[in-house]
Structure 1
C-alpha cells in the first residue's frame, strides 16, 4: 500500500495517485456499492466498527479523519449507527457531502452543515430525547483531505442511565454494538482514553468477548496530554502491544479538545499541533518512527487494514451470496408454486381447464425420453465374452438365448428408473395433496408394466418384420456371433420400447390428468356446496404473499451483489 506521506510528496495529480486509485479505491467502492444495495442485511460485509465508552474521544477521532465536525458533548451523542464513507479526490476538486437516512437524501455543500443535519436525522429516527435507534445514517464525504475509508460509528457505551435516558439504555447500546462486532467480517476499532485503566473499559471488554484472540481488533489511545505524570512509560508499553495483546496492535492520537474547539482551532491546525506534540514528547517521539502515532498514520493503517480485509473476505462473500441465492430461490419457487395452485383451482371453477396443454407437454417429455432409450449401446467385447461364456451346443450363427435375455433385461431395467422419475417430475408440477393417491396408482402400474417387460415376448410376425428391416441396413464388418446377437437385441428392444413409449404416457396421463381432474372437480364441488364464501377460501394468505415479495426483493439484491462480486474477482 502507498503511504499517505509519499502520496502528498508526489502530488495527487501524479502517476502515484493514479496507481493508488487503481489499487485501493476499487476495494472500498465494492463494499460501499454492496451496502448501498442493502445487501448488508443479507450478507456479512467487511467493515470497521468504531466503539468506545462515553467521552472516550471517539467523535474527535472521526472528526480528525473526516475533516468535518460531528455531534459531540456529554452523555449519548451518537444515537444511531453512522456510516461514514470517505473518498479521496484530486486536489482542487470541490468538497462534496451526501447524507442519507430512511427515505431522505440530501446534498451537503459545506462541511460546517454536517453536524446539524446529523442531529436532525437522529432526532427523526431516535426521538428528541436520549434514546437510540438501530437505523443507519449514511454520510458520504468527497475531499482531497480525507483517506479512502469507510467506518461505522456506534453509540458510546453507557454504564448507567442518567437524566431522561431509558433505564435499560446501557443494555440497549451493548445489544446494538454486538450486532456489528460479533460478525467475523468486522474490524473492531476500540477507542480508549490514555488517562484511564485500559483493562477496565467496557469497549475493550466487549471486543475481547467477541474476538478473544484480538485477531480483528485495533486499539486507539486518545487524550495523551491528560496522562498522569510518571505514567507515560505504561502508555508506551500499551501502544507497543506489551500489556493487552491485540493482533492488529495499537495507535495513539491527539485530537482537538474542548478548549481547542472554543478557540475555533481548525482541524488542519489540530493535525499540525498533534505532530508537534509527539515530536517534542520524549516518551512518545519514538512511536512516530514506529508509525504508531498521529491521525494521518492512523488513516493510512485503517485504509490498509480495510483493503486487506476486503480482499480476503470477497471470495467468501461471493460463496455466501451464491448459497443464499440457491436457498432463497427454492423458497421463492415453492411460494410461487403455492400461488399457482390457487390459480389452477380458480381456473377449474371457472371452467378454464388446461388438460390438453398438460397432455401435450407430457407426451413431448415422454417422446423425447424414449427416442433416446431406443438406441441400444452394448460393447462388442462384453457381448463376445458373454456369448463365449454362455455358449451351449448350438451351432455358429444360432443366437444364444441366455445372452440375449441377459442384455435385454439389463437394458429394460435402465429405462425403469427414468420412467418413475418422469412421473414424479410431473407430479411436482401439480397439486401434491390431491395427486398422492393417483401417483401411487400410476407408480404401481408402471412397476407392473416393467415387470411384464422382463418376460421376453413378441408376436412372431412383428418380430420377423422388424428383424428383416434391420438386417437390410448396411453395417460395419464384425464378429459373426456378435453381429447376430446385436440384430436380435436391437429388434426386440425396438419392439419393447415402442410398447413402453405408448403405454407409459397412457398410464401417467390417465392418473395425472384424467383421474386427477375428476378427483379435483369432486373436491371443488364439495367445497362450493359446503361453504358459500369460496373466493375467500381460495384467496392467498397475506403472510405468504408478503414473504414471497420479501424473498423476491432479496433475490434481486443478491443477484446484483453476485454480479458485482463476479466482476471484482475477474
Structure 2
C-alpha cells in the first residue's frame, strides 16, 4: 500500500513542475472542484483541510484557480524540523509559553508546529498562521487578476502540510454566476465557464460537482457542465452540501443513493458550517463532530451515515485519486517519452551550442558554404531533395521560360502588323531614286526587314531578365536549417551569389543584343529556307487567280463601270479584291494592246513597259505640264494653281492616293518576303538566345559559385562576424533545453513508482 500512497505525492511533484514551467501538454490527474456561488465549495475544502484559510465574502471570491496539494506528514518527520526557511509574520498576541514552545529565546528544545502552508510563488517561506495564507491568496489574486472582480486563468499553487490530512491534489475554480454584479465584467459568465471547461475537459480530471441540497438538482449548474464533458458520469463525483438546510419533511436520500441522477462514483452528502457558526468562531473540529451527529441521528440518513460526511469524502477522494493515478500513470509516462523525443528533435535542429570553437570555425564556414553552393546547383539541375510538388521551380522553371514564355512571345509577333502598305510603297519609291525600277528593288526589302528583326529584341531581353530573376529566387531559397543559425553568414552568402548573378546579367544581355544586331547586319537572301522573289510572286499570282472565283459584292451601272455602294470607284489596295483580271484590264487600257497571258503581264509591269501614251502623241489633257491656249492663240490661260504645285501639295497625302496595280503587286511581294525572312530569323533567335543564357549566365554561375564564395568570404578576419548566432534562435534553444530537462525530471519522478 505504501507504493500506492506514494502516487499522490508523485503527482504533486509533477504538478509543481507543470505549474513552474507552464506545461500545457502534460495532463495530470487531479480533483477539480466546481459549483455555483454560495454552493459551499470553500466550506467543503476547509472541512477537508481542517483549517480556515480560504477568502470569504460576497460575489466572486475565487478569481484564480487554486491548486491545493494536501500532504500528509508525521509530527516527527525531519521536514518539520528544518530551519532553512523563512517564517511568516504573525501579528497576533503570543503568550510567553507559546513563544518558548515555538522556539523563542531561552527555549531549550525549539518545537515547530507540524501544520503549515507553502506557496509555489514564494519558495522557502512557510505560513504557520493560516490567516496569513488567506491574506496571501487575496494579495496574489489582486496582483494578477486586479482589484476589480475580473478573473485570471493563471493558477495559485498552495501546499498544505499536516498530519491531519490525506494526500490529495485539488483545484478550486471560480464559482459559476449568471448576472454581473457591481464592477464585474459583462461577460463574466462566459469567462468563468470557459475557465472551468478548460480544466474539466481534460480526460485525467476527476470532477467534484458541488450542489446545494436546498436547491432542486435539475437546476445544478455544476452537474450541467460536468455532463457536457462527461456524459456517462464516469469521472464525476457529486457532492451534496447544505443537507441541514432542507425543508422539514424533505430529504435527499434518493439523490445520495443514486436513484435520481446516477453517477458511477456516486453522491456524497456533507454538512458545512453555517454563517452563524463562522461568526461565533466555532472550530472546525466541533463542526465535524456536529456533522457526524447530524447523519447518525437523522431518521433518513442514519442508514447511510457511514457513507456521508467530510471524513468519508476525504477518504473517498484519496482512494479515488490514487486509483485514477495508477490507471493513468503509464499513459502519462508514454506521453512524456513522446514529448521528450519531439523536444530532442527540435533541440537538434537548433544545432549544438559547443560545435563552434576557434579551431574549427574555418572548417564550419567552409562546410556551410559548400552546402549552400551544392543546394544552388542542385536546384538548377533538379537534383534537390526538397523539390516542390505544388509549383515549378529551379531548372524546371527556367525550361518553362525558354519553351513557353519566350517561345510564345516570339510566335505572337506579327512582322507586318506595324508596317502599313503605304510605308512599303514609300520605301520602294525612295529606294529607286529618280530612276524607274525594272524589278522590285532589293534595297527596299533590306530597309523594311531590319526594323522588323528589331522586334525580336524586347522578348529576348525579357527572357534574360526572367531567368535572372529565377536564379535569384533559387539563391534566396538555398538556405538550410543549420545555416539559419547564423543569419549574417546566410545574408553574406546570398549577397555574394546575387552579386555574381548581377555581374553576369550585363554580358548576357549585351550578347543577346548582339545576336539581334548580327541578323540585322547582313540580310542573307540566299538562305535555303528563304522563299525568294520568284516563288513569292508565283504565290501572289496564284492567290489572285483563286480570288477571281469569289463573287464581288459590288453594284454595276449600265455602262459597266464598277462602283461601290456609296457611288465611288473602288480604292485600289493590297487585298484579296484586286484580281488578276483587273490587273490585265488596266494593262490593256494603258498600252492599247491586248494582254498576252500572265507571264507577259508580269514582264510588262516589272520591266517598266508602259505604253499608255501612243506614238501619234497625246492630247493636252494627257500632259499635265502643257498649258492650253485661248481660241485667239495669242493669250495663255494660266490657272490659279499649276498642276506641278497641285502634285507637290499632295506629295505627302499618301492615305488619299490610290495604289496602281503594279504597286499593289510590289507591296504584296515585299510583304511576303519580309514574313518569310522574319520567320527564319525568329527560329534562329528562339534557338540561340536560350543557349546564350545557359552558357553566359546559368552554367557560368553554377561553375563559379563555389569558388566565388570561398574567394570573397573565406577570410579569417570575417569568421567571428559570420558565425554570430541569431539571438532568437539562442533563446529558443535555451527554452528547449529547459523544457527537455523538465520532461526528463518528470520522467525520473514517474519511474520511481511505475
Give the TM interval when normalised to the shorter protein. 0.5 to 0.7
Shift of 1:62: 0.4
Query: 2:369·2:709 contact (CA, 8 Å) conserved in 1?
Result: no
CA offset digits 1:132-177 (Å, max 9, x no partner):
1112212211212212212111111121211011111111111111
Is residue 72 from structure 1 mapped to residue 52 from structure 2 by the alignment? no
**Stretch of structure 1 that moved more, 45-54 or 327-336:** 327-336
CA offset digits 1:104-140 (Å, max 9, x no partner):
6631112333222211221222112211111221221
Q: Which residue of 2 aligns with 1:26?
A: 6
Shift of 1:229: 2.7
Query: 2:65·2:155 contact (CA, 8 Å) conserved in 1?
Result: yes
Match among 321, 333, 336 for residue 306 of structure 1? 321
Structure 2 CA distance for aligned equivalents of residues 236 and 527 of structure 1: 85
Query: 1:52·1:58 contact (CA, 8 Å) conserved in 2?
Result: yes
Is residue 331 from structure 1 mapped to residue 346 from structure 2 by the alignment? yes
Structure 1 CA distance for aligned equivalents of residues 382 and 148 of structure 2: 69
What SS class does the counterpart of residue 218 from structure 1 fall into?
A: strand
How many residues in Structure 1 have an aligned counterpart in Structure 2? 396
CA gap of 1:433–1:180, structure 2 versus 1, over 3 A, is: farther
Q: Which residue of 2 aligns with 1:274?
A: 291
For residues 84-483 of structure 1, the aligned pairs below 5 Å read 84-90=68-74, 94-102=113-121, 106-232=125-251, 235-289=252-306, 291=307, 293-336=308-351, 352-354=361-363, 433-436=372-375
Shift of 1:549: 2.6
What SS class does the counterpart of residue 161 from structure 2 fall into?
A: strand
Q: Which residue of 2 aligns with 1:37?
A: 17
CA gap of 1:520–1:248, structure 2 versus 1, over 3 A, is: farther
Query: What is the Cα-based RMSD across aligned positions, in Å?
Result: 3.5
Structure 2 CA distance for aligned equivalents of residues 430 and 308 of structure 1: 58
Query: 1:97·1:111 contact (CA, 8 Å) conserved in 2?
Result: yes
* Long gaps (5+) in structure 1: 1-18, 359-428, 445-514
Shift of 1:516: 11
What SS class does the counterpart of residue 41 from structure 1 fall into?
A: coil
Query: 2:28·2:332 contact (CA, 8 Å) conserved in 1?
Result: yes
What SS class does the counterpart of residue 561 from structure 1 fall into?
A: helix
CA offset digits 1:73-106 (Å, max 9, x no partner):
2211111111111122235773332332546663
Shift of 1:517: 12
Shift of 1:268: 0.4
For residues 516-535 of structure 1, the aligned pairs below 5 Å read 519=705, 522-523=708-709
* Long gaps (5+) in structure 2: 81-112, 384-700
TM-score relative to the length of structure 2? 0.48
Query: 2:64·2:156 contact (CA, 8 Å) conserved in 1?
Result: yes
CA gap of 1:147–1:523, structure 2 versus 1, over 3 A, is: same
CA gap of 1:65–1:516, structure 2 versus 1, over 3 A, is: farther
Query: 1:80·1:134 contact (CA, 8 Å) conserved in 2?
Result: yes
Is residue 562 from structure 1 mapped to residue 741 from structure 2 by the alignment? no
Question: Between Structure 1 and Structure 2, whose CA radius of gyration is higher?
Answer: 2
Query: 2:369·2:710 contact (CA, 8 Å) conserved in 1?
Result: no
What SS class does the counterpart of residue 248 from structure 1 fall into?
A: coil
Shift of 1:43: 1.0
What SS class does the counterpart of residue 329 from structure 2 fall into?
A: helix
Q: Which residue of 1 aligns with 2:527?
A: none
Query: 1:99·1:139 contact (CA, 8 Å) conserved in 2?
Result: yes
Q: Which residue of 1 aligns with 2:39?
A: 56
Q: Which residue of 2 aligns with 1:81?
A: 65
Structure 2 CA distance for aligned equivalents of residues 67 and 520 of structure 1: 76
Query: 1:241·1:249 contact (CA, 8 Å) conserved in 2?
Result: yes
Query: 1:81·1:137 contact (CA, 8 Å) conserved in 2?
Result: yes
CA gap of 1:23–1:556, structure 2 versus 1, over 3 A, is: closer
What SS class does the counterpart of residue 55 from structure 1 fall into?
A: coil
Query: 1:95·1:110 contact (CA, 8 Å) conserved in 2?
Result: no
Structure 1 CA distance for aligned equivalents of residues 218 and 208 of structure 2: 16
Shift of 1:23: 4.0
Q: Which residue of 2 aligns with 1:10?
A: none
